């Protein structure tokens, strides 16, 4: 009777190896080769593309696919993997930081609930919680999402162009001492944040002008 558990374990192990282990090994090998063959230009393009993916659904399946790709790359030890990880993490910080900045600059263009979310988004963005931008995207997807996509793509591309490298899969600004080229990391995040915030405010300014033309009310200005 003691043989049955042993046989069952061996069969389960064999099935796991054939069904999961072999495909996973092939995927890891393919990932290693892909990362190893990235030139500087390709790396910048990859960073921008992953930045788009990170902002596409703000923590949803597309975002998680980009993150999983970056983390899996670290496990392969490929030379380009830390640059990919840095691009993904930096691009993921940009959306909440951009909305935090936008709500700070033009508070009256946002609802009280959005203003509160904007204050929280400073910390959420700093620690790489992309979901901090979800309340804004849910309330105004046509203006917010394209703006966030643009900023995250800029951040991901610049991070790769600056040669930023991160061997840690999370932590946001708090792993800055562990990041290769920390100045480039900060500059890439700042650039993407400014792009997204400026785009959001530009689109909302257009909305304000349209409201003025229909209602005759003056354009809202912050005190």
Written as tens digits, the pLDDT of the chain (223 aa) is 545 555 566 676 666 556 655 665 555 555 556 656 666 678 899 999 999 999 999 988 889 888 988 998 888 888 888 999 999 999 999 999 999 999 999 998 999 999 999 999 999 999 999 999 999 999 999 999 999 999 999 999 999 999 999 999 888 999 999 999 999 999 999 999 999 999 999 998 877 777 767 665 554 454 4
Angular region, 177: left φ>0, alpha ψ -120 to 50, beta rest: alpha
Q: Which residue has the tokens 């983390």?
A: 71
Distance CA 190, CA 49 (A): 18
Which residue from 152, 159, 148, 150 is spatially nearest to 188, judged by alpha carbons?
A: 159
User: 180 has which bridge partners?
Assistant: 165
pTM reported for the whole predicted model: 0.79
pLDDT of residue 16: 56
């Amino acid at each position: 009777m003691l043989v049955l558990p042993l046989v069952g374990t061996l069969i389960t192990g064999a099935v796991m190896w054939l069904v999961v282990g072999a495909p996973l090994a092939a995927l890891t090998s393919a990932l290693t080769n892909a990362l190893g063959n990235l030139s500087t230009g390709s790396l910048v393009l990859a960073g921008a593309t992953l930045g788009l993916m990170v902002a596409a659904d703000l923590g949803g399946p597309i975002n998680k696919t980009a993150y999983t790709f970056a983390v899996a790359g670290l496990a392969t030890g490929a030379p380009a993997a830390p640059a990919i990880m840095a691009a993904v993490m930096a691009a993921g910080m940009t959306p909440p930081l951009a909305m935090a900045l936008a709500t700070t600059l033009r508070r009256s263009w946002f609802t009280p609930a959005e203003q509160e979310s904007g204050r929280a988004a400073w910390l959420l963005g700093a620690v790489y919680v992309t979901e901090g931008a979800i309340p804004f995207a849910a309330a105004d997807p046509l203006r917010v999402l394209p703006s966030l996509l643009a900023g995250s793509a800029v951040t991901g591309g610049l991070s790769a162009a600056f040669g930023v490298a991160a061997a840690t899969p999370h932590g946001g600004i708090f792993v800055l001492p562990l990041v290769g080229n920390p100045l480039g990391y900060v500059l890439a995040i700042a650039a993407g944040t400014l792009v997204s915030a400026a785009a959001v405010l530009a689109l909302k300014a257009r909305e304000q002008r349209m409201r003025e033309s229909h209602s005759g009310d003056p354009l809202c200005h912050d005190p």
